[in-house]
Structure 1
């Protein structure tokens, strides 16, 4: 991942979820803010021009202008586009440091697509995507990042540390893994020894990842954790006490271009704080 510091792009459609996404993005005052509104010009069924979208987009523009002023970001750029929502957002994010969207969207915008806008952009965006979900706790000051031995994991950890350096938060790097042996009751202790070795290997992996990142971010507190629980579940549990959950997207094969990894999909659906998908 090579982060372009040019701007944060926020998809905005006037919904409460979009307001939350805009507030999250606006809190990063070190980066330029670009608010993108997309009106779908053609009815996907009838093929006619949707004049109702003109009125809706003007309402969204007014709401976005008022919102950025209230958030102390009157310098934000508001960009109105017409076309399919996801392609327009992806094009707007081509030179962005990240794309931020709400977890749900306005009916007019979301209704132009099969599935949610957030899921689609998380799969295809050329930059990290933050999907702003409601936070379980608003008093915590730590970023949780899921790590394993993949290149995407190292990118996710670096992204978490870059944000933590700007926000002053700590980072908890969690390696969740499932071990059948860790859940088996034995009488001779043999399986238990294997489970202990698995835990030791997992702890070594996450410590080495954190050590490498700590050298680049000496001012960020990074805490390593290895937990013998499936990664998706342990990260969702950890998100209850996090300001942001960061995970990597998966590989670059033919299917990866269309689908997120199972862990990414799970946390997008169930996390209890904003989620960043990093590629």
Structure 2
């Protein structure tokens, strides 16, 4: 009984500490960048840096997820050596080389040594001798860069579990290949699709990302659409050269006047609320998915609100955001 009470007390203290930390983090802009060694992952990291990596309120967390007990042994000596390798950047450990490459894209070695404080943390994970490992770099300006080597049954679970330790404003991950069928994408979703469907925060799926071309935000006049365009403008303002355009698509010519009114009202609202001006506006007639993809290919990313549809609805009817995510030539951001 005493042991049970002790464990309960320790768990309560952990939860209180985590809650206090999460409340503190809500005042910061936190970006979780998923690193898997692909070009898309590193392009996403560079994009995160442009999004405010030099701002004192920005935390960039680099995450590499590895399967439980990936080539490691449970003996005490092996565990000790593995952890020492983690702390000294031993490259034998799965994922370390990829995280280190990401760190080098953000901070030079000399600056890192002279201007950044470092703290390492290890968390025990059942069934894995190495556990979760974190190296946190803190700059006197307030900026933070975190390298996280996380253990999980699969990459998507690890990314979504990491959000619960956040929170995060944005998750950036490489995207599945363009053109996957609706049924396949729904029944056997890729890692990026799982994250896009289930993450509680906004997700940027990186595909052929070319920085500096701005974002195209899709609007339809709904209250949710208004929230999305406001949120997108606030996010874009973090870039050194914020450029946001808006598109509204009417399915037929009869709806053109309504679509034009929606675009004008959105433009006025941004100017009134945030003193933010849209770069371009588009009113199109036709299939929303086709028109958004056609116009959106000239931008760094297409921005849409989450359709909120469940698995069966995605199979039967898709949704504009879901279909654009599958079919777009370039990067897509799902806003929440």
Coarse TM-score class (shorter-chain normalised): 0.7 to 0.9
Give the Cα–Cα distance (whole angstroms) in 1 for the partners of residues 315 and 148 of structure 2.
Answer: 27
After superposition, the C-alpha distances for 1:30-69 in whole angstroms (9 at most, x for unaligned) are 321111111111xxxxxxx431798432332332333333
151, 159, 169: which one aligns with 1:89: 159
Give the Cα–Cα distance (whole angstroms) in 2 for the partners of residues 139 and 100 of structure 1.
Answer: 17
Partner of 2:11: none
Partner of 1:45: none
51, 56, 59: which one aligns with 2:71: 51
Q: Give the drift of 1:161.
A: 0.8
Q: Give the drift of 1:123.
A: 0.4
Give the Cα–Cα distance (whole angstroms) in 2 for the partners of residues 260 and 98 of structure 1.
Answer: 27
1:235 to 1:214, Cα distance in 2 relative to 1, 3 A: same
TM-score by length of 2: 0.64
After superposition, the C-alpha distances for 1:200-238 in whole angstroms (9 at most, x for unaligned) are 112112222332232112133354322102211111112
Give the Cα–Cα distance (whole angstroms) in 1 for the partners of residues 234 and 259 of structure 2.
Answer: 24
Give the Cα–Cα distance (whole angstroms) in 1 for the partners of residues 27 and 198 of structure 2.
Answer: 17
Give the Cα–Cα distance (whole angstroms) in 2 for the partners of residues 6 and 89 of structure 1.
Answer: 18
Partner of 1:226: 283
TM-score by length of 1: 0.75
Q: Give the drift of 1:20.
A: 1.4
Q: Is the 8 A contact 1:17 1:104 kept in 2?
A: no
36, 49, 55: which one aligns with 1:13: 36
Partner of 2:120: none
1:258 to 1:278, Cα distance in 2 relative to 1, 3 A: farther
SS in 2 for 1:96: coil
Q: Which 5+ residue runs of structure 1 have no aligned equivalent?
A: 42-48, 106-112, 180-194
Greater share of strand: 2
Q: Give the drift of 1:5.
A: 3.4
> RMSD value over aligned CA atoms?
3.2
1:80 to 1:151, Cα distance in 2 relative to 1, 3 A: farther
Give the Cα–Cα distance (whole angstroms) in 1 for the partners of residues 323 and 230 of structure 2.
Answer: 22
After superposition, the C-alpha distances for 1:130-189 in whole angstroms (9 at most, x for unaligned) are 011114x6563x32111113343223212221123222333211011322xxxxxxxxxx
Partner of 1:109: none
SS in 1 for 2:291: helix
The higher relative CO (CA closer than 8 Å, separation ≥ 6) is in 1
1:171 aligns with 2:209: no
1:149 aligns with 2:221: yes
Q: Give the drift of 1:272.
A: 3.3
Partner of 2:207: 133
Match runs of 1:177-192 below 5 Å: 177-179=250-252
Aligned length: 245
1:157 to 1:256, Cα distance in 2 relative to 1, 3 A: farther
When structure 1 is superposed on structure 2, of 17-26 and 216-225 the one drifting more is 216-225
1:166 to 1:68, Cα distance in 2 relative to 1, 3 A: closer
SS in 2 for 1:148: coil
Q: Which 5+ residue runs of structure 2 have no aligned equivalent?
A: 1-25, 74-91, 113-136, 138-143, 178-186
1:227 to 1:251, Cα distance in 2 relative to 1, 3 A: same
Give the Cα–Cα distance (whole angstroms) in 2 for the partners of residues 240 and 12 of structure 1.
Answer: 25
